[in-house]
Copies of this chain bind each other. A is one copy, B any other.
Amino acid sequence: MFSKSCEYAIKAMIYVAQKSKNGERVGIKEIAKSTSAPEHFIAKILQDLSRKKLVNSYKGPNGGFFLNEDNLKTSLADIVKATDGNGIYTDCVLGLKSCSESTPCPVHNEFRAIKKNLIKMIESNTIGDFNKKLEAGSSFLKNV
């Protein structure tokens, strides 16, 4: 459904959210370990998200990544767009250039509702929401 980069980005954002209580920051090594992501790969992803202002970071000792109040309002859609681009909004499922509402590809109508619901869902769920669920113990980020 999403690229590896996107999966890692979502997991990292959620993990950083968890560790961003009372001004704390979390280093890339810990993020990598806790999300089962290759260190340098997840570093690149976070640097990119940082440039795009979805996460914050400080360099140097006691530095690290953290989310501020605003970052917690980041939706899944924001992360998907930042990592995988806008394809989910713009691209035909079969990759046809001229597919549209007026000249739909054979599967267009069947996918309309699916895509609409998917987009609605990723737009309406934020990192803050997921963070709360983790804190409440109703979901888990563990990988094995």
Contacts and interface: CB of A to CB of B under 8 A. Distances in A.
A107 B10 contact: yes
Contacts of A1: 1, 88, 93
Given A105-B139, A121-B111, A141-B105, A95 B4 contact: yes
A65 interface: no
Contact of A140 (B11, B98, B121, B125): B98
A138 to B, nearest CB: 8
Contacts of A103: 140, 142
Interface in A50-68: none
Contacts of A144: 97-98
A118 B114 contact: yes
A46 interface: no
Interface in A80-133: 88, 93-99, 103-111, 113-114, 117-118, 121, 125, 130, 133
A87 B43 CA distance: 27
A72 interface: no
Given A114-B118, A118-B114, A107 B94 contact: no
Contacts of A107: 10, 76, 125, 130
13 contacts: A1-B88, A2-B93, A11-B94, A95-B143, A96-B141, A103-B140, A104-B138, A105-B139, A106-B139, A110-B125, A111-B121, A114-B114, A117-B117
